[in-house]
Amino acid sequence: MTKRLMIVDDSPVMRAFVRRTILVTGLPASGFLEASNGAEALAHLRSGTTGVDLILTDINMPVLDGEDFLRELKRDPALAAIPVVVVSTDSTEQRVGALLRLGASDYVRKPFPPERLAEVLCQLLPDWGPEECPETGPETGQKKGASL
Ligand SMILES: [Mg+2]
């Protein structure tokens, strides 16, 4: 079953990198949505035109950063159930703990290998079964011969 993922990051290069990394894993993600900060992401999500199955967000962004974005999202009953994965270099235990308490589902430290992202997505998208997420191991979720 294909899934629609939203990538929130102020760096277009990082958004492209995350998108490409997900494609490399071979997971059936479709229709990537992108936003350059939390405010843009919320506006898009609240427009309700397209459903989003999972959000990957940066922390440090202008206008509305990842932490405030997460806070607002979890306060909105229409959006609170969407799993949010924080993708950042800011990985002190204190920071990660605060984000998880705010409702983040998981945390991926930059830089990350495709397998790490595949592992997190497979855990959070339960309708992806063994067909989408092959057996665990060093090549989890990664198609043979795929490369960045
Ligand atoms: Mg940033």
CA of 65 to the centre of ligand 1 (A): 8
Q: Does domain 3-124 have CATH number 3.40.50.2300?
A: yes
CA of 129 to the centre of ligand 1 (A): 32
Report helix, strand or coil for 56: strand
CA of 107 to the centre of ligand 1 (A): 15
With vertex at residue 69, the alpha carbon angle to CA 121 and CA 18, rounded to the nearest 5 degrees, is 35
36 contacts 57 by C-beta, under 8 angstroms: no
CA of 113 to the centre of ligand 1 (A): 19
Maximum CA extent, the chain? 42
Please report, for the chain, the start and end positions of each structural domain, with discontinuous segments joined by +.
Answer: 3-124
CA of 34 to the centre of ligand 1 (A): 13
CA of 15 to the centre of ligand 1 (A): 10
CA of 10 to the centre of ligand 1 (A): 5
Per-residue pLDDT at 146: 45
Q: One digit per residue, pLDDT tens: the chain, 148 residues?
A: 789 999 999 999 999 999 999 998 888 887 899 999 999 999 999 997 778 999 999 999 999 999 999 999 999 999 999 999 999 988 788 888 999 999 999 999 988 999 999 999 999 998 888 888 865 544 444 444 444 5
CA of 130 to the centre of ligand 1 (A): 34
CA of 61 to the centre of ligand 1 (A): 5
pTM: 0.87
Per-residue pLDDT at 135: 59
Q: What is the amino acid identity at position 32? A: F
Per-residue pLDDT at 139: 47
